Structure formats: C-alpha cells, structure tokens
Structure 1
Amino acid sequence: MPAIQIASFPASDAFLEALASDPEKIKAPLTGLLAAKGHTGSFFGLQVENGKTVYFVSVWESLEAHQAFTKDPNYGELIEKIKPAAAGPMERHHIDIKADAGTALASPATEFVVFTLKAGGTADKLVPLLEELGKGLDIAAGAHAPCVWGQCVEDKTKFLLIVGWDTVAAHWEAVKEGTDLHKTVGKILAVTDLSIAHSLLKQG
C-alpha cells in the first residue's frame, strides 16, 4: 500500500533566503532520496498562513520501503544536509493511503489537515465521517481529486488529510457555512480537534 511521510519544521533564515533567491539549491540535498528504492516523489513548500513552517512530503510505494531507506547510509547524509533548513524540531507523520497522492500534492495549492481524536472519540466513529468528507471534497468546485487521508502510524489518535485545490480561497469557498461539506466538518468536530494549513508546494 502506498505511504506518505509528512514532515514539518520551522524554517531557518538560510532556508528562507535560499527559497526566495534560488529554489533549485533546495533540491540539491535530495539527490540521495530521489534515487532511493520505492521512492515515488517528493514535494516541499512553506505554509501559506505563517510563511515560516516548511512542509516536506515524500511518497513511497510502501511504508516498508521508507523504513528500509532509513537504514541506508544515504539517509543519514540526507538528514545532515536538511538540518541547516530547520530552526527547530521536525514533526513527522506517516500515513498509508488508498489513492494516488500525486494530484493533490502537485496542485496549485495543497491543504493539510490533522484530526486529533477527542476524549471519547474513536477511529470507528471518525472513519465513516472522513469517508463522507473525502467523497464531498473530490467533487467540490476547485478541488483536484482525489484527496488522500489515513491514520497516523506513529500516533493512532491522529488522522491526516491532504487535498489539492486551485487556490486556498477555493477551499474556504467549498466548506463555507451552508454547504454539505460544512455540515460534515461539523460532525467531525464532535469527535476531533483539527488544525488546517495550506502550502504552494514545489516538486523536489
């Protein structure tokens, strides 16, 4: 089953300067990753909302393929090359997905949502609601279907959703009050807390 790693971290001044002046420099450290067995794509970008959080997403044929890469000498070299880009700790999540994530990640704007189960909330309650949400998002105006989502491998209380859009504004228009999607999100908020962010990703 395909898997995604979503990493985020506060950007260093050096990273922000490189991104503004010559984004191609940022791709250079990724050479070892691009050649890794089972790796099918990488994307990176800044969070739209704060302009300081970096998102780095790598797509794999399976979770096992990524885990195998972490034991490769190239992995340690990659981490050392990435360190100067970070001004703080890196948060990483893995999810297994059932659809191709390439469309959502290559869209003009990409939405990232983290759902965290509330006390009393369970995966059994949430999963049908996420299925309902996903179906609605895939036919929403301005969306780039399919969206992808899954339960976090490291923390079973978290679920992650990735959606591609024409623009950030298209997302907010699709889920505004009075829409069916808004109603579905309301039901989800009964069992989870959620955080939403967007990025204009570039392919690594």
Structure 2
Amino acid sequence: MPAIQINIATFPSSDAFASNPDMLKAPVDMIKSADGHKASFYGIQVEDNKKGYFVSVWESHDHHRKLVESPNYASIIEKLKPTISGQFERNFINISHDPLPALSSPAVEIVTFTLKSGSSAEQLTPLMEELGKGLDTATGAHPPCAWGQSVEDKNKVLLIVGWDTVEAHWEAVKEGTGLHATIVKIKDVADLSIGHSHVKKHEG
C-alpha cells in the first residue's frame, strides 16, 4: 500500500479524561471528515493513568497540515483542552503497511526509541528491522507492527505493536528469547520508553 503516516500524540491527561477517555470523541468528531484522515484511536496508558494517547492515521503529513491551517482548528483545540493537563508530545512517522491491525488489537504497545549521544539512525535502523520481524512472528502479536523515524525529531523512532494482552508482550520479550537479545543490542544505541494502552477506535 502507499506510504501513510501515523500521528502519535502522548499527553498528560486531565483527571476527567483519565476517568472518561470518551471525552476525546467530541474533538475527534471534528477531525474525522478531514481530507486524508483514515482513522483515530485514543486511550489511557496502562502503567500510568495520568498519561493519555491519541493516535491518528493519515494519508500524508500534508493532509494533517491542511487541517492545522484550517479555520476549524482553533475549535478543535478548544474541545481538546479539558482532556489534557499539559503539553502534547506529537510525532509523525512514515510507514508502508497497514497499521490498523496493531491499533485495533486488545492491547497496544507504544515505544519511543531516543538515540543516545554519538549514535545514529543508520545504526538503529537494521536493529529495528530485526526487532520488527521478531515481533511480527511472536505469540500473541497482531502483525504487522508499525515503526518509523519521527518527522519532527530525527533522534526518535516510534513503534506500535498489537498484542492479545500486555502480558503476552512481556512474555515474548523475556530474558532468553531472540527478541530480548535484539532489545539488548538496541539499548546500546537508544533509550526506550515503553507504554501500553487499550486504545479505542473512534466511531462516529
């Protein structure tokens, strides 16, 4: 399929959003008809209910940029404000396969890899390819996983993996597995920030 982009936003959630993630439905209702928008998902992090996720799938970065530049964008931001208690951290990644199986799975793993000082994307890329192949064949996974370098910050690579359960993920990468060995190599060049969420697809 043609290259598409995923916009992954992580944000400190308000108490109201932590109690009722469906608060995000109203602003996403305003996004769903935007040209190039394919799907949106939102939820609370399993490990920390003060952290929220909003993931949207677009045909291209330019389609999202047109939304940001539209007259309706200010209204969308106003509707978003009650759901957050701080700054959005937003990253676009380019991928070349369908991200919906992973995003539609019961448990979604979201990982940010940040290059260490002195390391390069050229070092990390083959390790990510190795990791992706292992994840796509892991027990309990919902392949394909989706990963790519951040458009906004070239020192970051983001990964989305679908699982049957959070526990299935930890079982697949436990010490002694091939995936664990790959992750050890990745940690030599990048720091990892891992979270999980039972994200909900926006329907409307």
TM over 0.5: yes
Give the equivalent residue in structure 1 for 2:9. 7
Give the equivalent residue in structure 2 for 1:31. 29
Residues 46-65 of structure 1: pairs in structure 2 closer than 5 A = 46-65=44-63
Distance 2:44 2:20 in 1: 12
Give the equivalent residue in structure 1 for 2:135. 137
* Structure 1 letter corresponding to 2:53: Y
Give the equivalent residue in structure 2 for 1:194. 192
Following superposition, which runs of at least 4 residues in structure 1 exceed 3 angstroms of deviation? none
* Structure 1 letter corresponding to 2:183: V
Structure 2 counterpart SS, 1:176: coil
Q: CA deviation at 1:75?
A: 1.9
Q: CA deviation at 1:98?
A: 1.4
Give the equivalent residue in structure 2 for 1:184. 182
Q: CA deviation at 1:68?
A: 1.4
Structure 2 counterpart SS, 1:7: strand
Q: CA deviation at 1:29?
A: 2.3
The count of residues paired between Structure 1 and Structure 2 equals 200
8 A contact 1:33–1:74 mirrored in 2: no
Q: CA deviation at 1:158?
A: 0.4
Give the equivalent residue in structure 2 for 1:98. 96
Q: CA deviation at 1:17?
A: 3.4
Give the equivalent residue in structure 2 for 1:125. 123
Q: CA deviation at 1:129?
A: 0.5
1:18 equivalent among 20, 26, 47: 20
8 A contact 2:108–2:197 mirrored in 1: yes
* Structure 1 letter corresponding to 2:4: P
Segments of 5+ residues of structure 1 without an aligned counterpart are: none
What TM-score results when the alignment is normalised by the length of structure 1?
0.95
* Structure 2 letter corresponding to 1:49: E
Percentage of identical aligned residues: 57
Residues 151-190 of structure 1: pairs in structure 2 closer than 5 A = 151-190=149-188
Distance 2:19 2:129 in 1: 40
1-10 vs 161-170, which moves further? 1-10
1:150 aligned to 2:148?
yes
Distance 2:140 2:16 in 1: 34
Structure 2 counterpart SS, 1:177: coil
Distance 2:132 2:86 in 1: 33
* Structure 2 letter corresponding to 1:137: L
Distance 2:153 2:147 in 1: 14
Structure 2 counterpart SS, 1:135: helix
Segments of 5+ residues of structure 2 without an aligned counterpart are: none
Structure 2 counterpart SS, 1:141: coil
1:89 aligned to 2:87?
yes
Distance 2:158 2:72 in 1: 28
Structure 2 counterpart SS, 1:185: helix
* Structure 2 letter corresponding to 1:125: Q
Give the equivalent residue in structure 2 for 1:77. 75
